[in-house]
Amino acid sequence: MFDNLEDIVVHYDEVMAELASGDVASDQNRFRKLMKEQSDLAPLVETYGEYKKAKQLQEDALEMLEMNDDEMREMAKEELAEGKRLEEELSEKLKILLLPKDPNDDKNIMLEVRAGAGGDEAALFAMQLYRMYTHYAESQNWKVEMIDVNENGIGGYKEVVAMVSGKGAYSKLKYESGVHRVQRVPETESGGRIHTSTASVAVMPEAEEVDVQIDMNDVRIDVMRASGNGGQCVNTTDSAVRLTHYPTGIVIYSQTEKSQLQNKEKAFTLLRSKLYEIELEKKQSAEAADRRSQIGTGDRSEKIRTYNFPQGRVTDHRINLTLYKLDKIMNGDIQELIDGCIAADQAAKLAKLNEQ
């Protein structure tokens, strides 16, 4: 599995040499491409360097075992054991680094949160989920731009759509797609009974124009005055934009900006992402067996997580992980859940690789 690593090291050295030459500075596209290559390859090259050191440590220890000095032999045994431990640890790390990467991992995302079963309580939960993702995005230094929101009148969201921009946004949040379930006593419930409500989350990689070509003859564009809450002028100018894509029936509404042009741009960005997701789903359906062996981006109909307020716990059903820190999680501290999904996904892919 590690046969090509020496070639990767040679290529990495060539990339570093070209970056250091200064000649590349005049070609910004080439410079950005090289910087991305350097960033992608560095963890692999560094880990491989440590792996070779662990192998060398064992070779040196084996030579020391041939000595007649008892103290040196004892030291050699310890170094041999340490070398073997490091080799095993670094070997697993290398396998993970060599797994095929999702080409969408570095992309920004389109995030949709929709209230499901449960009426007003579901809408309040959808609002809290959106707030949770917003706080997590802030902790990652990502930018969140709301595209559309449909409120229920008591602070809840029937639906909210936003763009999350930042390095690795899709690689981390792609595991959030699916149905999220909440169990708690609603504020409107006088009898104190625990209710179960749901909200669905969809995470789509942002699609650029090169990813999806839209035939403008397939799209109807309507402009209108924005409705609902907003800043000054939101209800006095025809700034809101609605797109209707005839072939798929997808309807996009964007109204959060004062400028019609900006709303139109956001609407087309979301439309491209939805069309891109449809193509991804077709491809993933064709690879159904591989799909079942991964955590990946969950099916929207799959119940992935339960938030139980009376017990203060959150359970991710895909990886059988339960955490008793619901308050922190609802405030955006979801890294442990994401890390668990990433680890489970990598373990499933490694197991599949070892079967081949």
> Residue 269: how many CB atoms within 10 A of its CB?
21
What pLDDT sits at residue 28?
83
Q: According to the model, what pLDDT value does residue 232 have? A: 42
Quote the CA–CA distance of 277 and 50 in Å, as a whole number: 39
List 150's β-bridge partners, or say none.
159
Phi and psi for 206 in degrees, rounded to 5? -65, 130
226, pLDDT greater than 80: no
As a whole-number percent, the residues of the chain with pLDDT over 90 amount to 47
* Token code pair at residue 187: 């504020």
pLDDT in tens, 141-186: 999 999 889 998 888 999 999 999 998 999 999 999 999 999 998 8
* pLDDT single digits (tens) 39-63: 889 999 999 999 999 999 999 999 9
Q: What is the mean pLDDT of residues 294-319?
A: 81
Rounded mean pLDDT of 95-104?
85
Give dist(CA 282, CA 248) in Å, integer: 14
How far, in Å, CA of 168 to CA of 172, rounded?
7
Reply yes or no on whether the pLDDT at 231 is more than 50: no
Question: Which tens digits make up the pLDDT trace of 236-268?
Answer: 567 889 999 999 999 998 888 888 898 998 899
Quick: pLDDT tens for 260-303. 898 998 899 899 999 988 888 887 676 555 444 445 544 556 79
pLDDT category at 31 given cuts 50, 70, 90 is confident
pLDDT for the residue 90: 93
Q: What percent of the chain has pLDDT over 70?
A: 89
Length of the chain: 356
Reduced 3-state DSSP string for the chain: CCCCHHHHHHHHHHHHHHHHHCHHHHCHHHHHHHHHHHHHHHHHHHHHHHHHHHHHHHHHHHHHCCCCCHHHHHHHHHHHHHHHHHHHHHHHHHHHHCCCCCCCCCCCEEEEEEECCCHHHHHHHHHHHHHHHHHHHHHCCCEEEEEEEEECCCCCEEEEEEEEECCCHHHHHHHHCEEEEEEECCCCCCCCCCEEEEEEEEEEECCCCCCCCCCHHHEEEEEECCCCCCCCCCCCCCCEEEEEECCCCEEEEECCCCCHHHHHHHHHHHHHHHHHHHHHHHHHHHCHHHHHCCCCCCCCCCEEEEEECCCCEEEECCCCEEECCHHHHHCCCCHHHHHHHHHHHHHHHHHHHHHC
Predicted pLDDT at 291: 46
pLDDT (0 to 100) of residue 298: 46
Spell out the domains of the chain, with CATH numbers in brackets.
3-98 (no CATH), 109-209+291-355 (3.30.70.1660), 216-286 (3.30.160.20)
Class of residue 157 by CB neighbours under 10 A (exposed 0-12, middle 13-18, buried 19+): buried
> Is the Cα dihedral 4, 7, 13, 17 positive or negative?
negative
Token pair for residue 130? 């959106």
Tell me: the pLDDT tens digits for 181-222? 999 988 766 667 889 999 999 999 988 776 788 889 998 999
CB 174 within 8 A of CB 164: no
Hey, what are 144's tokens? 């969140």
